[in-house]
Structure 1
Amino acid sequence: MADRTVPGAPGGDWAVVDDEVVRFTSELIRIDTTNRGGGDGRERPAAEYVAERLSDAGLRPRILESAPGRANVVARVAGSDPSAPGLLLHGHLDVVPADPALWSVPPFSGEVRDGMVWGRGALDMKNAVAMTLALVRAWARTGRRPRRDVVLAFTADEEDSAAYGAEWLVREHADLFEGCTEGVSESGGYTHHARSVTGRPVRLYPVAAGERGTAWLRLTAHGTAGHGSRSNTDNAVGALAEAVARIHAHRWPVRLTPVTRAAITEIGAAMGVKVDLDAPGFVVERDLDPLLERLDPTGQLIAGTVRNSANPTMLAAGYKVNVIPESASAGVDGRVLPGAAAEFEQTLDRLTGPAVEWAYQHRSQPLVSPVESPTFAAMRSALLAHDPEGHVVPVCLNGGTDAKQFAALGITGYGFTPLRLPPDLDYGTLFHGVDERVPVDALRFGARVLDRFLTSAG
C-alpha cells in the first residue's frame, strides 16, 4: 500500500490525490478528442475541463485556440526559487481514433473495472494529464511548491503534425515558455518487465532521453498516360512500385547515438549481460543484432533506434484498370537518427532513382538529451525512491513527441510519465491499440513519483 500522506503536508491528502487521479483520467477519456489528421480534431472541451481544474487550484490558465476547436492550455506554477531555470511539463489532449466494434468496452466510456481505467487515452496520455491536475491541486491545498517554476502545457494535435498544437504555440506564444530550459512529457518511466540471464525478474524503467526525427515523405512518379493494353516503358506505376520495393528492402546501417550506447550498456548490466561495445573484435554492424537478441524482449526497447528507417505506408495511382495513369504517388514514414539526416537523404535519392521524385510532407528534428544531467538524476531518484529494486535506464524513442517542437525554443526534452505496471500488461501493444487501459495502482504510483520529481528537481 502506497503512503497516504504528502511529505510536509497535512496527513491524508494523498487520499484526495488518489481519488482525483483516477476520476480525472476517467472523465478526460469520456471527452472524445479524436484526432483524425488533416485538421480534423476538436480538443476544446478537454481544454476547458483542464482549465477549470487548474483555476480551482488558484492558477491562471490560458486557453489558446490555433483554429476553431483546436485548443491548447498553458499555465505557470511559481517555484520557490526565482533564480532557478523553469521546467516545462507538457502533455497532449488529443487521441488517435478507436473502432468501438473491436473493443471490450466503449472506448470513450472511461469505465473503471477490474482495477483498471479503460478507454482511448488511458495511456496516451490522459493519464499523465490527470496526474498533473491532481498534483497541482494538492500543492494548492497544502501550500507546497516546486523549487523551479513549472510551466504546464496541454496541447492539441500531437497525434498528427502538431501544427495546431505545440508547433503553433512555439511560433505564436514563445513568451509563455520563457526561462524553461528542460521539458518532461510522455513515453518513459513505465515498468518494463524482463529476466536476467539467471532467470531473476528485473524491473526496468526506461526514460526517454532522445527521439528519432520524423521524415514523412511523398514519392511521385510521372510517366506517359496510355491504354492499358499497349506496351509502355514510361509507366509511372511501375517506376513507383520499383522504388517502393527498393525502399522496403533496404537494410539501413547501424548508427549508435550516445543515448543508445548508454541504454545498451545499462540494460545489459541490469540483466547480467556483460556489454562492451568498444571491446576488441566487437563489430557493431555484425555483432549488435545478436547482442540485442540476447537481451530480448528488452532488446526491443533499443532495436528500433539503432538505424534510420523508411517504411512505405500509402499508395495512390490511376482511376481505371485499362488506363495507364500519367502519375503515381506513395507515402513513406521515415525516421532519422541524430546526425544521420544527410545519409538518409542521399540514400533516398539512390533508392528512388531518376524516375521518382521525393519530398518531405512533414519533418521534425531528432533529439538527444544528456543522461548525466541533474534532471535525469532527479527522475532516476524519484523512481527508485518508490521502487528501490527497479533499474532506471535511458532510451531513445522510435517515434516522436511534442518535445521536438519545444526543442526549437532551446528546451531539452525527456520522456517521463511514471507508471508501475504488472507483468501481464503489455504496455507497448496498448499504445494506440485495442482495449487501451491503465491500472488504478499505476496512476497512484505515478502521481507519487511525479510529485517527488517535480518538487525536488534542481
Structure 2
Amino acid sequence: MDVGDLCRDLVRLRSENPPGETREVAEYIHSFLAEIGIESTVVSRDGRRCNLIARHHNPQLLLCGHLDVVPAIADGWRHPPFSGVEEDGYIWGRGSSDMKGGCAALLTALRRAVDEGEEPPVEVVFVCDEETGGCYGMEYLLAKGVLRPCDTLIAEPTPPLSPCIGQKGLARISLSFAGEPGHSSLYPAVGRSAVMEAHEVIEYLKALHERDYPVSAEMERVIARSSAVLEGLFGLQGLDHVLRRVMFNPGVIRGGEKANIVAEHCDLDLDLRIPWGCTAGEIVSEIAALVPSAEMKVTAVSDPSCTSPSARVAERVCAEIRRVYGEAPVPIFQWAASDARHLRKAGFPAVEYGPGEVTTIHGVNERVAIDSLIRAEEIFYGIISSYCTTRPPTEDAND
C-alpha cells in the first residue's frame, strides 16, 4: 500500500465533525501501526471521539495530525465527497487535504524508516476534534499529561515551500443582549433594542480592524513574506492586513421577535483572529467593557504563537524541503488556527508542514495531488530519519 492508497482509504472512512465519531479511522491506523511493529492505543473521553497515541520511552519527535474533517454536503462535488476517487493526478474527497493526506504521508514515512532498520525515537498522536477546538482531543491529552514536550511536526496542509512556524491568536465569543421591548413606531425614543446593541459591537469591531500593532523587525519580515505567500495562493492583492490586524467574523446572529416590536433578545457569535503585538485577553476585555450589560461567554481563546526559525525542528523541516524540491524554503506565519497553539503553549516547538491544495480546504471539490503526497512522504522520512541515532544516507530526490 503506497501513500496514495492509504490516503484514499482514510478519506473513505467518514469522520465528519460534528458529530466527531472517529473510532473507525483511529482503529484503522492502530492496525496499520501494528503491522509495522509499533504499539498504539485508542484513547477517548466519551467513547466516540477517539484519539490514537503511539508512545516512546524517550521521544525526540512528535508526529501529529487530526482525524476529523468538516462536514460535506454532496451537492456540487465532481465526485462524491467520501469516495476517495483518483483522477487527473489528484485524490478527491473531504479531508484529502485537511488532513488525511498529511496523516497518510506521516504513516508511510514512518513505515519506511522502520522497514529500513531504523528505530525512530518518535511518538505519534492523531486527534479527534481539531476542527471543533480540541477539548476532546489535543487539549484533553495535554491536560492528562500523556504527551511529553519534544520537537513536533504537524502534517497540516501548507504551500509546498512554506512550513508554518507561527499562527495568529484566536478568540471565540458568544454574547447575549437583553433589550427593553416597545412599539416599533416609537423607537428609538422608547425602548432599547437588543439587535442594535449587537450592531454596535459589530461597528466597534470594524473600527478595531483598522488598528495596526507594532512588532519586532524580525517578526515584521516574517509577516511580510507570509503575506506575499497568502496573496500568491489566493491570487489576490492587498491581503497584507490579514496577518497584521484583528480579523473578525460575526458568524451567527439571532435576534428580535417581530418587525413591529423593539427587539428584547439578540445573540451574537463572534470569531476573532488576533495578530502579533496584542493578546487575545486584551481584545476580550475591550469587548466586555463595551457591553457590560450583555451576557458574555468566551468559548476559545489563545494568543498568537510562533516557533523560532532557528529551532531544531524548523531547521530540519527546511533542510528536507530544500533537498526534495531543490529550492529555498520560505517559513511563514499562518492566518488560521490549529492544534499548534495548544502544543506551543504546553512547551512543544511545533512546525506545520504537509501536502494539500490549500485553496480547496473546507470547500467543494477538496483534493490533494498525488505528487505532493509522494514528496511529503519523502520529506517526512528525511525528518524522521534525522532524529534517529544512526541515519542511513539519503539520495537527492531530484537526482
Going from structure 1 to structure 2, the CA distance change for 1:87 and 1:367 (only over 3 Å counts) comes to same
> Counterpart in 1 of 2:349?
412
Q: Report the Cα distance in structure 2 between the residues aligned to 1:132 and 1:407, rounded to whole angstroms.
A: 20
Q: Report the Cα distance in structure 2 between the residues aligned to 1:181 and 1:436, rounded to whole angstroms.
A: 32
Q: Report the Cα distance in structure 1 between the residues aligned to 2:282 and 2:371, rounded to whole angstroms.
A: 45
Percent of aligned pairs with the same amino acid: 27
Specify every segment of 5 or more residues in structure 2 that has no aligned partner in the other structure, as ranges.
Answer: 389-399
How many angstroms does 1:349 deviate by? 4.7
Q: Is the 8 A contact 1:157 1:165 kept in 2?
A: yes
Residues 344-355 of structure 1: pairs in structure 2 closer than 5 A: 344-345=283-284, 347-349=286-288, 352-353=290-291
RMSD: 2.8
How many angstroms does 1:188 deviate by? 5.7
Residues 108-123 of structure 1: pairs in structure 2 closer than 5 A: 108-123=82-97
Q: Is the 8 A contact 2:181 2:191 kept in 1?
A: no
> Counterpart in 1 of 2:392?
none
> Counterpart in 2 of 1:167?
139
Q: Is the 8 A contact 2:101 2:355 kept in 1?
A: no
Q: Does 1:330 align with 2:299?
A: no
How many angstroms does 1:65 deviate by? 1.1
Going from structure 1 to structure 2, the CA distance change for 1:245 and 1:332 (only over 3 Å counts) comes to same
> Counterpart in 1 of 2:252?
314
Going from structure 1 to structure 2, the CA distance change for 1:127 and 1:77 (only over 3 Å counts) comes to farther
Q: Is the 8 A contact 2:226 2:332 kept in 1?
A: no
Q: Report the Cα distance in structure 2 between the residues aligned to 1:124 and 1:96, rounded to whole angstroms.
A: 9
Letter in 2 for 1:47: A
Letter in 2 for 1:435: N
Q: Does 1:372 align with 2:372?
A: no
How many angstroms does 1:49 deviate by? 0.7
Going from structure 1 to structure 2, the CA distance change for 1:313 and 1:298 (only over 3 Å counts) comes to closer
Count of aligned residue pairs for this structure pair: 384
> Counterpart in 1 of 2:153?
184
> Counterpart in 2 of 1:41?
20
How many angstroms does 1:257 deviate by? 5.6
> Counterpart in 2 of 1:215?
171
Q: Report the Cα distance in structure 2 between the residues aligned to 1:398 and 1:454, rounded to whole angstroms.
A: 27
Q: Report the Cα distance in structure 1 between the residues aligned to 2:38 and 2:231, rounded to whole angstroms.
A: 49
Q: Report the Cα distance in structure 2 between the residues aligned to 1:308 and 1:441, rounded to whole angstroms.
A: 36
Q: Report the Cα distance in structure 2 between the residues aligned to 1:295 and 1:55, rounded to whole angstroms.
A: 38
Going from structure 1 to structure 2, the CA distance change for 1:301 and 1:46 (only over 3 Å counts) comes to farther
Q: Is the 8 A contact 2:257 2:264 kept in 1?
A: no
Residues 83-122 of structure 1: pairs in structure 2 closer than 5 A: 86-122=60-96
Q: Report the Cα distance in structure 1 between the residues aligned to 2:112 and 2:262, rounded to whole angstroms.
A: 65
How many angstroms does 1:237 deviate by? 1.5
Q: Is the 8 A contact 1:107 1:119 kept in 2?
A: yes
Going from structure 1 to structure 2, the CA distance change for 1:386 and 1:212 (only over 3 Å counts) comes to same
> Counterpart in 1 of 2:115?
141
Going from structure 1 to structure 2, the CA distance change for 1:325 and 1:244 (only over 3 Å counts) comes to same
How many angstroms does 1:411 deviate by? 1.0
Q: Report the Cα distance in structure 2 between the residues aligned to 1:308 and 1:412, rounded to whole angstroms.
A: 25
Going from structure 1 to structure 2, the CA distance change for 1:265 and 1:237 (only over 3 Å counts) comes to closer
Q: Report the Cα distance in structure 2 between the residues aligned to 1:301 and 1:245, rounded to whole angstroms.
A: 21
> Counterpart in 2 of 1:5?
none
Please list the CA deviations of residues 369-411 of structure 1 after superposition, one character each: whole Å capped at 9, or x if unmatched.
10112221111110111111x2312211112111222234311
Q: Is the 8 A contact 1:25 1:130 kept in 2?
A: yes
Residues 237-386 of structure 1: pairs in structure 2 closer than 5 A: 237-250=195-208, 251-256=210-215, 260-264=219-223, 297=235, 303-341=241-279, 343-345=282-284, 347-349=286-288, 352-353=290-291, 356=294, 358-386=296-324
Going from structure 1 to structure 2, the CA distance change for 1:129 and 1:295 (only over 3 Å counts) comes to closer
- Which of these residues, 173, 193, 207, is aligned with residue 235 of structure 1? 193
Q: Is the 8 A contact 1:117 1:438 kept in 2?
A: yes
Going from structure 1 to structure 2, the CA distance change for 1:77 and 1:181 (only over 3 Å counts) comes to closer
Q: Report the Cα distance in structure 2 between the residues aligned to 1:48 and 1:137, rounded to whole angstroms.
A: 17
Q: Report the Cα distance in structure 1 between the residues aligned to 2:231 and 2:28, rounded to whole angstroms.
A: 45
> Counterpart in 2 of 1:397?
334
> Counterpart in 1 of 2:380?
450
> Counterpart in 2 of 1:194?
none
Q: Is the 8 A contact 2:113 2:385 kept in 1?
A: no
Question: What secondary structure sits across from 2:251 in the alignment?
Answer: strand
- Which of these residues, 70, 74, 94, is aligned with residue 53 of structure 2? 74
Please list the CA deviations of residues 211-265 of structure 1 after superposition, one character each: whole Å capped at 9, or x if unmatched.
1121001123222133444433422112222222332354131443666424256
Question: What secondary structure sits across from 2:45 in the alignment?
Answer: strand
How many angstroms does 1:208 deviate by? 1.0
Q: Does 1:438 align with 2:368?
A: yes
Q: Report the Cα distance in structure 2 between the residues aligned to 1:434 and 1:265, rounded to whole angstroms.
A: 30
Specify every segment of 5 or more residues in structure 1 that has no aligned partner in the other structure, as ranges.
Answer: 1-18, 192-204, 272-291, 420-426
Q: Is the 8 A contact 1:223 1:327 kept in 2?
A: yes
Letter in 1 for 2:151: E
Question: What secondary structure sits across from 1:391 in the alignment?
Answer: coil
Q: Report the Cα distance in structure 1 between the residues aligned to 2:223 and 2:131, rounded to whole angstroms.
A: 29
> Counterpart in 1 of 2:395?
none
What is the TM-score of this pair, normalised by structure 2?
A: 0.87
> Counterpart in 1 of 2:393?
none
Question: What secondary structure sits across from 1:305 in the alignment?
Answer: helix
Please list the CA deviations of residues 243-290 of structure 1 after superposition, one character each: whole Å capped at 9, or x if unmatched.
22332354131443666424256679x99xxxxxxxxxxxxxxxxxxx
